[in-house]
Structure 1
């Protein structure tokens, strides 16, 4: 990482142009990281006599991602720009379709676990960290009855999407996405939350979990209580909460009972907390944390960290190829591929910030530049068939 740091001083800056040796060092160290983390854990099902190597396929995937292009168009551009022939879009998609959902999730779990381990080896994630859970939708224009298609808010000519749930660290020092899951139309939210939280608890300690109003339910709160997780969520403006908040002047803490809107008569107790935000506006939060009035003043600042997960979704798109494919495996592969590259980018920037003793809020390497470096690494490192080819 110190070698990467030395190279990026000029590569990522605006005042100087990196020399050939610095660029070579940066590419080599990035390539070492990709070889260690990605390639062994994401094995394409190519035959031993396949014309193209892993490098060829991943080079095309990375090129498509950083240019937000589709497989076919990206392949055409690469074949025009490169001296080496690369697979066409149909060939790439043919091999990606061989995966199953379980295989993809297991592969990316291995990649993420290795990244978490590398972060811990450098002194990160050894204490409680605040996290956030949220959904993100990839718009879909096919049949609503296709596998894993869910309804979404009408936008850009469709009300259909593929949905994914993630849990992401929202600390400024480290914003790794710990887990990503596909979500079907009939998947209960509390089951998604339980899966994400349990998986995360096996790897790191959760400080406070921030979620938006979409997760406001008795089942979700009960699940988090049972898992021993502290949560923070904006109060839903239902008639009961509005009545309770109307008579409170911040900072105030009021124990409340939240009842299920269904007919099962479930309920859960929590604290309704009234605070003033930075604009001196009243805001209500629901939490299971034990608070005194002094600590309530930190809740708005704590919840504002949840925007870190929105930022992570935006950056992931810088690594994601575009597709109109109706095949769900292609959609899932592209999403998880972007999560893996995002986590690698985040890890490199976090470690560089530690090495250089600089503010981790500003990335040393921009996402697009990091994607370009990975593409260049694939481009320069051989065309022989890899040793991991399936039979």
Structure 2
């Protein structure tokens, strides 16, 4: 369990409360603190929750109290109540994550020890038979206080289940109906964000109204695998317009837009969305962003090649799977804020990663000037990228490649028994750059047999896989907690990338450590720091890297909004991608506003309006009120 003094804590807080049982009033007190610089999740709040010594009449035998403290059971049931789940799910979660059991106070010797995890029957017995009425009410009230504390600190927390008086929804069906009605209402408000900022370069006397193009494109993007050729007829039938674009005219007019014109429209739309989100206290304070490259569907058409069989097409790029694709780079907000795509750029053959990062940061910072940290994968591990981040005054956190010298460092660290290692490099015009070596835990079975994936590497355990499905309904990502000092998910990410690179030197030593680079000032090289202090410092920094997966999840949803095409015109393909990003951004705003309308200030971070529901509503109400 992480230990820290109160002076290190950014969230030190006491909460005193009273609760009443059988007309008797009792006092309670809990104290929160955490050593993490980033916002923790609700489990981390419970890990760093402490109580006064009062146990409210714990009448268990002494041998019970010596084995497991009263407050270990309190924290376990606080988590159950916050999740609104039964003992079965709680048991499976704690059994899968012994490190959380240990931090709660159960008798767990190490991160592989499941013997000390509470059984489902014992959890039920403690709550229903051994806890008194006073103790159960204490747990309920303490959970409410912990949830309130989490929200005050901007920490994602489950909705409280203790407020039936606030719920005027009589059934699940009526709740779904309310969400659908709010989605329709908000979507109709958000449509002008698109139609007011997008434009075409056509003659003034054009018969077809410009909005018909955007409505038709949205219509096609919201239907699976629909192309312009097939979509034009369906759109004409479903719309209320007398004139709609033909497929060829649709592609031609949109294809005339340059890359910079399309990007400019994305920027203006996003600027309006940001202003609306900030009106509801989103996207305030220091923001985290991620930069990555995604690809379209494989290109199967004709490709121009030179005499050496090399592809000469500027915009059709090879990939490690052997296929060729059109590719686009984006910068997206990640972390605990509303995720929005800020900018996008098509990737051209020979384009340097540093130029991509420089261009994306320049435009993104024009939209939101308070990006503190940008995260990228190993593909962006070069000095030019770091220089671009320094130029724009943002900190970076990247996975780094291990070349020969880094592999040699891994060998020295392993032989010396070092857990973490930090190296510093000073630069003339920027903050100090740090290289962080941290344990890779090669004996973890979850890290074996990894394949290329668009999602974080997940465990192979059937128990964990079943739990993911249960917890997903609660808006909880099981990957947020791992049994390797909190490093596991991001290490799996790096090791997956390493598997596709040629190895140099000792594979065994190279696999022992993962490597990250950052210029963030929270990582320092101080000879007076103990190893445990250094471990905590590195852990606090690297934990943030898990949020980079937000951009991958965004790509999966953007793909569902993108119009399919067989056109080779890269400007038209780029527009299809950008317009899909806009629809994705609008969906995220709609989800935020629906949650605020139905839940008030205490909103959760899991989407209330999923992408399919948004598509269903938006497809029905894609048009403006009858023709312009």
Q: TM-score, normalised by structure 1?
A: 0.82
Mapped to 1, the partners of 2:391 and 2:252 lie a distance apart of: 44
Two-structure CA RMSD over aligned residues (Å): 3.1
Q: Is the 2:420–2:439 Cα contact (8 Å) retained in structure 1? A: no
- 1:97 equivalenced with 2:255 (yes/no): yes
SS at 1:283's partner residue? strand
Q: Is the 2:179–2:594 Cα contact (8 Å) retained in structure 1? A: no
Structure 1, gaps ≥5 residues long: 1-8, 260-267, 385-391
Q: Is the 1:318–1:368 Cα contact (8 Å) retained in structure 2? A: no
Mapped to 2, the partners of 1:22 and 1:289 lie a distance apart of: 41
1:32–1:350 Cα change, 3 Å = closer
- 1:57 equivalenced with 2:213 (yes/no): yes
Instruction: Give the superposition deviation at 1:372.
Output: 3.3
Partner of 2:340: 176
Instruction: Give the superposition deviation at 1:367.
Output: 1.6
> Which of 273, 276, 284 is 2:436 aligned to?
273
- 1:187 equivalenced with 2:345 (yes/no): no
1:176–1:382 Cα change, 3 Å = same
Partner of 1:283: 514
What is the CA deviation profile of residues 191-213 of structure 1, one whole-angstrom value per residue up to 9, with x for unaligned ones? 11112122223323122211100
Partner of 2:318: 151
SS at 1:172's partner residue? coil
Q: Which segment drifts farther, 338-347 or 190-199? A: 190-199
Mapped to 1, the partners of 2:175 and 2:383 lie a distance apart of: 57
Q: How does 1:242-253 map to 2 (within 5 A)?
A: 242-248=407-413, 251-253=419-421
Mapped to 2, the partners of 1:76 and 1:218 lie a distance apart of: 51
SS at 1:311's partner residue? helix
Mapped to 2, the partners of 1:14 and 1:45 lie a distance apart of: 48
Instruction: Give the superposition deviation at 1:48.
Output: 4.9
Partner of 2:113: none
- 1:206 equivalenced with 2:371 (yes/no): yes
Mapped to 1, the partners of 2:209 and 2:256 lie a distance apart of: 16
1:271–1:337 Cα change, 3 Å = same
What is the CA deviation profile of residues 329-351 of structure 1, one whole-angstrom value per residue up to 9, with x for unaligned ones? 21011011001111111122233
SS at 1:153's partner residue? coil
Q: Which segment drifts farther, 244-253 or 315-324? A: 244-253
What is the CA deviation profile of residues 11-57 of structure 1, one whole-angstrom value per residue up to 9, with x for unaligned ones? xx9624877x986764344222211x111110134445544334433
Partner of 1:364: 608
Q: How does 1:31-70 map to 2 (within 5 A)?
A: 31-35=188-192, 37-68=193-224, 69-70=226-227
What is the CA deviation profile of residues 239-260 of structure 1, one whole-angstrom value per residue up to 9, with x for unaligned ones? 211221333356534225599x
Partner of 2:229: 72
Mapped to 2, the partners of 1:25 and 1:305 lie a distance apart of: 29
Partner of 2:287: 129
Between Structure 1 and Structure 2, how many residues are aligned?
A: 361
Q: Which segment drifts farther, 375-384 or 225-234? A: 375-384
Q: Is the 2:587–2:614 Cα contact (8 Å) retained in structure 1? A: yes
Identify which of structures 1 and 2 has the higher relative contact order when contacts are C-alpha pairs closer than 8 Å and 6+ apart. 1
Q: Is the 1:136–1:165 Cα contact (8 Å) retained in structure 2? A: yes
Partner of 1:113: 271
Structure 2, gaps ≥5 residues long: 1-166, 304-310, 441-481, 489-512, 525-533
Q: Which segment drifts farther, 308-317 or 143-152? A: 143-152
Mapped to 1, the partners of 2:561 and 2:394 lie a distance apart of: 32
Q: Is the 1:61–1:321 Cα contact (8 Å) retained in structure 2? A: yes
What is the CA deviation profile of residues 106-158 of structure 1, one whole-angstrom value per residue up to 9, with x for unaligned ones? 22211111112222222222211111111112233342434433332244xx3
> Which of 182, 197, 200 is 2:361 aligned to?
197
Q: Is the 2:179–2:609 Cα contact (8 Å) retained in structure 1? A: no
SS at 1:274's partner residue? strand
Instruction: Give the superposition deviation at 1:366.
Output: 1.5
Q: Is the 2:342–2:364 Cα contact (8 Å) retained in structure 1? A: yes
SS at 1:120's partner residue? helix
